[in-house]
Chains A and B, each alone.
Chain A
Amino acid sequence: MSTTTAGAPPAAVPPAARVETPFRRFVSEFAASRLALFGLVLFCIIVLVAVLAPWIAPQNPYDLAQLDIMDGRLEPGSVGGSGITYWLGTDDQGRDMLSGIMYGLRISLTVGAGSAILACLVGASLGMLAAYAGGRTDSLIMRLVDLQLSFPAILAALMILAFLGKGILNVVIALVVVEWAYYARTVRGSALVERRREYIEAAQCLALPTHRIIFRHLLPNCLPPLIVVGTMQVARAIALEATLSFLGLGVPITEPSLGLLIANGYEYMLSGKYWISFYPGIALLVTIVSINLVGDQLRDVLNPRLKK
């Protein structure tokens, strides 16, 4: 036994074929659900369609000069005055629904992602600040969060939009205002937990400066719940924007989002011109479902509690 007293030999390497990064592990766990993978693929296609809309859409539905009301409310598959075929029909302005949906996706996704990113930035910073500063700062921020969370999003957004007026930017602002609190609460929650972890103490012990501890050690470990909240909030923001547009406060009518397309077509529902709101509705549904599918799986994969 005396051989071992010379100090432990270098510990054996655990058998692992390739270096497993947290990212790779995450990818493989995510891919475990076929439904989620399907959602992801679907979402990617949707994003692609939205991004490429100006190149692949048959018409620019936002250019009034390209529309002709004489082509209004044509059935799917009709051929319009200028000879183009409206595969999904047209709305009351003679707007090609297919193009309208592609561009509408652009708006909806921009609004959803834009508001989610901005809200995340604002919320995460405030949440981090609350968790790290503690005391009065913390309680002030958290009271603000409570206030925001207890106030119904839809009402708050209605008020803000009534105040700011229409426009994509204003919708984004309104959504940021109603959503930041979710991020703040999430980040604060996980930061408070992570903060007490020993690796943070170790970093303090190594005399690393506070900002480095926050941004290099604390923040990355608070990200998973944030990502989950983020995806869910993108879906929520898209739905909320649609509802706001439906209630008449949202994006401008000449640049309709999916929600506004639905709202426009809503009036034609009873008269049998279903396509004006049905197809955008389906597009909206598929988008939100795909995001939620992805978010759902993220929640499972990133939730440490379900892991043993």
Chain B
Amino acid sequence: MSAVLEAPRAAAQGSVPIIELRGVSKRFSNPLDFAGRLVKRLGVKVREDVVHAVDGVDLSVRKGEVVGLVGESGCGKSTLGRMVAGIMPPSDGQVVWRGQDLTKLSGADAKRAKLRTQMIFQDPYASLNPRLKVAEIVGEAPQYHGLVPRGGLEAYVDDQLRRAGLDPSLKRRYPHQFSGGQRQRIGIARALAVQPDFLVCDEAVAALDVSIQAQILNLFMKLRRELDLTYLFISHDLGVVEHLSDRVVIMYLGRVVEEAPSEEVFARPNHPYTRALLAEVPRIEARKRVFAGVQGEIPSPLNPPSGCHFHPRCPFAFDRCRAERPALKQVAPGHRSACHLNDAA
């Protein structure tokens, strides 16, 4: 069985990145209005609320690879995913798709690039338009973009549905008539219908029950083999990520803190945050264990700590951590981590 797995990974090693993020940042701000500026001028302290959702992230995904993106709520995973999928422009930095800067592409090329990257969403309820039938949901984009010949749409939609594990006879129904797992399959069929080669799965199984989750994860793996897909797999469930990914990227408060091949991360976590995370994950193998808990709350992205974002919760923090942002540095082949401890050692 494992051979099935190894093949694409081997292929992945040498090939060019299908997508590459270079110093990508995303800020959400609410600029001060006239009154706000006036008051500020008068010397009252008013702050423009700026959320650094993603803060200077470099990331590259090679063809055929599954990259897992892990992090706690609000750390910017979805935002990063959206930028990769091209539905949100970055505030800074470049998103490079097959060597071309996405933001600089012209109309037709941009559209093509956009279509080749599709997204699977977390909420199977909100991600389907409740007013369209399944056939319309799946068939709209291929028809609009002329990916299917006239008259061939029915059969094409049937194919997509079947591939996602749905009975095509259900295509005249509306989303609310399906269970969560089935809806997720509709979402997958919709994405596959425009023949992408890169899928961003944003918490795609988080809302599903364990037994259904397994079905969908298996579907992802099957599709990967059949269609030679590349995945950016966003999840907060380390178990899922560990199972699925070739490489894992760990984010904390808008920044990547560690990045390494899957086995490497789980075997030899480098960053204190990664270690804490791994320690806290409940595992079915660990019976009657004693939970400890990482100290402290997750800071607000509105008001992030200075230096290393993790320092207020880090048991090893020292002065430098409070002052200086640690850079992502190689600690082992293919393993990078952003921690000042690595310098000290």
Contact = CB atoms under 8 A, between A and B. Distances in A.
Report if A and B associate in a common complex. Answer: yes
B119 A205 contact: yes
Interface string A30-65: 000000000000000000000000000000000000
A5 B130 CA distance: 32
Given A8-B215, A11-B182, A205 B114 contact: yes
Interface in B73-113: 82, 85-87, 111
Contact of A202 (B117, B119, B169): B119
Interface in B163-216: 165-167, 169-170, 172-174, 176-179, 181-182, 185, 187, 190-191, 194, 215
Contacts of B228: none
A298 to B, nearest CB: 17
A10 B126 contact: no
B291 interface: no
Contacts of B169: 13
Interface string A265-306: 000000000000000000000000000000000000000000
Contact of B87 (A9, A22, A204): A204
Nearest to B175: A199
B186 to A, nearest CB: 10
B145 interface: yes
A14 B173 CA distance: 11
B274 interface: no
Contacts of A9: 165
Chain B interface size band reads 35 or more
B162 A205 contact: no
B165 A11 contact: yes
A16 B169 CA distance: 13
A221 B178 contact: no
A81 to B, nearest CB: 60
Contacts of A203: 129
A11 B166 CA distance: 6
B316 interface: no
Contact of A201 (B87, B162, B181): B87
A9 B215 CA distance: 10
B127 to A, nearest CB: 4
A17 B329 CA distance: 61
B170 A13 contact: yes
A7 B144 CA distance: 30
B325 interface: no
Contacts of A197: 126-127
Contacts of A4: 218
A208 B141 contact: yes
B41 interface: no
Interface string B108-143: 000100110111011100111111100000001100
Given A7-B222, A19-B172, A20-B174, A206 B115 contact: yes
